[in-house]
Amino acid sequence: MILKRCEYGHYYDGEIYQQCPDCTGTGRKTQMDLSGMSYGDYADEDTVTVALPRAHGQQPRVHVSADEEPVTVAMPRQPAPAASPVRKPTFKPVVGWLVCIQGKDFGNGFTIKLGKNFIGRSPGMDIVLRGDESIAAEKHAAIYYVPKQRRFAVEPGTTGKRFCINRNTVLRPVWIKQHDILTIGNSSLMFFPCCGEHFSWEELIRRHREKG
């Protein structure tokens, strides 16, 4: 688009018209009346603001001849990118441990955190037993702490594979206690609680708030 202005103050597209269409079409040569017109926040009484549509990925260009008065062009503003929502960190403290007493991970300990902890070979599991191929890759079983009861429970995963607590097959959620042995695949894991009757994170946080 080549934006031009005739000597009488009319603006027109120089690519389409060789002469001002307002002057040649009506035969009238009158000064353009700008009173009562609004040109946006960027214009004052001596300038004219022209808003041009922008094609996708294209910057608008306006050509003004050297002998013409400059024209103020308001470019459409790109919307600012939406800010990513800030997520409050989830508090997932340690609530207990499993220690391997038989199998490929013999002697290794595994942390149990608040929430449901899935057991399997996959690195994406909460408790990863990589060395035992008899264990399902994902969600063979789950262990979790119930804060309101201050007790721990285990339950079958989503694979339908068998596991035991103290040699008893687990078919539904069951409560467990300290030193119970979870047998999964060819591995045996002994359970040690952190939270329970004598300690809970909720109680500790409440005490700190009362002191503070």
| Single-letter residue type at 31 | Q
Report pTM. 0.58
CATH number at residue 179: 2.60.200.20
31 has pLDDT over 60:
no
CA–CA separation, 5 and 13 (whole Å): 9
177 has pLDDT over 80:
yes
What share of the chain has pLDDT > 90, as a percent?
A: 54
In terms of residue numbers, what domain contains 99?
94-202
Residue with token string 């308001």: 74
Is 116 a domain residue?
yes
pLDDT at 68: 55
Is 113 a domain residue?
yes
Is 185 a domain residue?
yes
The number of domains in the chain is 1
Banded model confidence at residue 36, pLDDT cuts 50, 70, 90? very low
153 has pLDDT over 90:
yes
Is 196 a domain residue?
yes
Is 72 a domain residue?
no
Is 34 a domain residue?
no
Across the chain, mean pLDDT equals 79
Q: Among 33-47, 106-120, 156-170, whose mean pLDDT is lowest?
A: 33-47
Banded model confidence at residue 41, pLDDT cuts 50, 70, 90? very low
Is 39 a domain residue?
no
49 has pLDDT over 50:
no
Q: What sign results for the dihedral spanned by CA atoms 187, 192, 194, 199?
A: positive
